[in-house]
């Protein structure tokens, strides 16, 4: 099922929240289609689990073989492990951080990425799309070392990849969050372990406050909607200690515990992403 | 071609350096096979580019369908994008950080990872292999948030994933480095941009100095061999400023430059991994 985040006569943003079968093995993930004046881009198209459903699901709105871009916030499997199949099925170019431009081809078969990768420099940039543009904003270390968010000035939506992610089901991810406080417990554990450090969050917030954001839409879980909730999110993340802030010598000790492959096996259902 | 890093009557460590066709698109990557008393594990099996060659190449030494483990230092595509094919071709379990246990299934088709993933807690642990063991050492934020190195006490080899990586060809990766100084220029740019911060490097070095390391073997480029070179590597990395240490507000600005997909296209040959 798709959710219309924005639509006017020439511009649309669609979100897909439930394409990955919820067997408890894989984390829920959102995928996005943006179309401007008949030119289309997919943001964070997802892994092999999502490919068929997204390809078919978006076909109702836009012919996937006409896609111009596959935008990847970074190179994790839930973001872009379907790359080989998208490169085969479309003529779209992968737009990704220069840091991952030579890693992403490992998703694909030999030669598939030839002239199909656009490497984004660390400063980001402005990408033409139809008669409009998308802004590629620096979001390095949130969590990936080379990482971008995507701001759509037509809809005033900021697509934030793992930032703002909440651990939930596809159905819950479809319900926008307008009051942040009750939502923080769904985000906190993930952000504390996967976001790299508070310094980076502060630098990013300082930049993000200059944008007019109607909706902050992560790649996992529910969109954060409205000026109040977005401002509260920026305030929350600005002071969050996370990642390396919380690690000391206790975390880097020669191991002594036995790993028993039977005991440590990950089985369904496992709902929360757990660190530690 | 395989390189014998270690062999005795019951234990062997093999390295594959040139399985990825060098068309300039994809970064060079090493893969490893460890066998103890007839029980086998692959370390960082690589992406779709490496699968066929590794499967065939290792067959001369060990029947791949008998593999017990696929050990992944983290979840990047050059590490484990071939997961779906390994899960199909073997009965091996994927051993990976708990942080990526629910992300890795996005590499595979639905249901493939059921009961096939062993999630390693942040403290790491000791994994039985044949009549011996492998130590799973915490290496978080080097670069991935959940990251492990693998220490083999029989060979005294430490497999360090991206740490110690050098950007080179498959042929050069096969030549061990015994004097560090001339090797540092091949490592420095990568480590400054991809390793998360000096604090983490220092914590890790403090732990690593307690190990008896004959050889430090990264997933890209050449092994660092001998007590002198290994000690010099630890000294170098301990004082390296990197990652978030080097980022300030200048790196987080709203973008103004145009991205031209033609100009920014990544074409072969591109030898150095470049940030910025």
Q: Tell me how close the Cα of A37 comes to any Cα of chain B, in angstroms.
A: 18
Question: Is the minimum CB–CB distance between B220 and chain A shorter than 8 Å?
Answer: no
**DSSP assignment of A85-106:** HHHHH--PEEEEEGGGTTTGGG
The DSSP symbol for A175 reads S
Average pLDDT, chain A: 94
Q: How confident is the model at residue A270 (pLDDT cuts 50, 70, 90)?
A: very low
The DSSP symbol for B185 reads H
User: Which residues in chain B touch residue A124, judged by CB atoms under 8 angstroms apart?
Assistant: 255, 257
B70/B43 Cα distance (integer angstroms): 6
Q: Tell me how close the Cα of A181 comes to any Cα of chain B, in angstroms.
A: 25
State phi, psi for B4 to the nearest 5 degrees.
Answer: -85, 105
Cα distances (Å, whole numbers) of residue B143 to A141, B103, B163, B200, B229? 10, 17, 8, 10, 22
pLDDT at A268: 54
H/E stretch holding A184? helix A184-194
Q: Order of strands, edge to edge, in the sheet holding A132-138?
A: A125-129, A132-138, A148-152, A157-159, A215-217, A224-225
Nearest Cα neighbor of B106 from B143, B76, B69 is: B76
pLDDT at B276: 33
Residue B59's Cβ-count burial label (10 Å; 0-12, 13-18, 19+) is: exposed
Average pLDDT, chain B: 94
Give B267 or A181, the one with higher predicted confidence: A181
Has residue B15 got a pLDDT over 80? Answer: yes
pLDDT at A111: 87
Q: Dihedral of CA B253/B255/B257/B263: which sign?
A: positive
Reduced to 3 states (helix: H, G, I; strand: E, B; else coil), residue A65 is helix
Residue B49's Cβ-count burial label (10 Å; 0-12, 13-18, 19+) is: buried
Q: How confident is the model at residue A51 (pLDDT cuts 50, 70, 90)?
A: very high
Reduced to 3 states (helix: H, G, I; strand: E, B; else coil), residue B218 is strand
Has residue B196 got a pLDDT over 80? Answer: yes
- Torsion, Cα of A33, A34, A40, A41 (10° steps): -70
Q: Tell me how close the Cα of A170 comes to any Cα of chain B, in angstroms.
A: 15
User: Could you read off the pLDDT of A137-174 as tens digits, one per residue?
Assistant: 999 999 999 999 999 999 999 999 999 999 999 999 99
Contact B138 A253 (CB under 8 A): yes
Nearest CA in chain A to B145: A194
Judge if the upstream peptide bond of residue A166 is cis by omega within 30 degrees of 0.
no
pLDDT at A49: 85
Q: Which letter, b or e, does each residue of B196-232 get, where b requires 16 or more Cβ atoms within 10 Å of its Cβ?
A: bbbbbbebbbebbeebebbbbbbbbbbbbbbeebbeb
User: Which residues in chain A touch residue B92, judged by CB atoms under 8 angstroms apart?
Assistant: none
CA angle B49, A97, A240 (to 5 degrees): 120
Has residue B264 got a pLDDT over 90? Answer: no
Mutation choice for B interface testing from A23, A81, A108 by most B CBs within 10 A? A81
Angle between helix axes A198-208 and A227-238 (nearest 10 degrees) is 150
Nearest CB among B77, B137, B249 relative to A106 is that of B77
Q: What is the arithmetic mean of pLDDT over B38-55?
A: 94
Contact B117 A203 (CB under 8 A): no
Nearest CA in chain B to A200: B244
H/E stretch holding A157? strand A157-159
Nearest CA in chain B to A249: B203
The radius of gyration of chain B from alpha carbons, rounded to an integer in Å, stands at: 18
User: Which residues in chain A touch residue B273, judged by CB atoms under 8 angstroms apart?
Assistant: 99, 102
Q: Model pTM?
A: 0.95
User: Chain A window 183-212: which residues touch B at a Cβ cutoff of 8 Å?
Assistant: 193-194, 196-197, 199-200, 203-204, 206-207, 210-211
User: Chain A window 147-186: which residues touch B at a Cβ cutoff of 8 Å?
Assistant: none
Q: How confident is the model at residue B20 (pLDDT cuts 50, 70, 90)?
A: confident
Q: How confident is the model at residue A271 (pLDDT cuts 50, 70, 90)?
A: very low
Q: How confident is the model at residue B268 (pLDDT cuts 50, 70, 90)?
A: low
Residue A95 pairs in a beta bridge with: A71, A118
Q: How confident is the model at residue A213 (pLDDT cuts 50, 70, 90)?
A: very high
A69/A80 Cα distance (integer angstroms): 13
**For chain B, percent helix, then strand, then coil, each to nearest 5?**
30, 25, 50
Has residue A201 got a pLDDT over 70? Answer: yes
pLDDT at A226: 98
């Amino acid at each position: 099922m798709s959710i219309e985040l924005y639509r006017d006569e020439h511009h649309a943003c669609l979100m897909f929240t439930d394409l990955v079968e919820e067997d408890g093995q894989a984390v829920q993930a959102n995928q996005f289609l943006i179309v401007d004046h008949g030119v289309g881009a997919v943001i964070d198209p997802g892994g092999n689990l999502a490919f068929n459903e997204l390809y078919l699901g978006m076909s109702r709105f836009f012919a996937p073989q006409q896609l111009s871009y596959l935008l990847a916030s970074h190179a994790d499997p839930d973001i872009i492990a379907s790359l080989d199949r998208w490169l085969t099925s479309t003529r779209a170019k992968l737009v990704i951080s220069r840091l991952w431009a030579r890693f992403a081809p490992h998703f694909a078969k030999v030669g598939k990425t030839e002239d199909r990768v656009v490497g984004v420099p660390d400063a980001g940039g402005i990408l033409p799309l139809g008669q409009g543009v998308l802004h590629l904003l620096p979001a390095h270390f949130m969590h990936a070392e080379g990482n971008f968010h995507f701001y759509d000035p037509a809809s005033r939506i900021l697509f934030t990849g793992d930032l703002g992610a909440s651990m939930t089901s596809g159905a819950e991810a479809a319900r926008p969050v307008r009051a942040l406080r009750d939502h923080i417990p769904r985000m906190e554990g993930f952000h504390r372990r996967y976001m790299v450090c508070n310094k980076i969050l502060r630098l990013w917030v300082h930049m993000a406050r200059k944008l007019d954001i109607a909706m902050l839409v992560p790649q996992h879980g529910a969109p954060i909607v409205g000026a109040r909730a977005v401002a509260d999110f920026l305030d929350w993340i600005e002071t969050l200690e996370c990642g390396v802030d919380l690690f000391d010598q206790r975390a880097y000790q020669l191991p002594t515990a036995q790993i028993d492959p039977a005991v440590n096996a990950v089985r369904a259902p496992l709902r929360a992403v757990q660190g530690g």
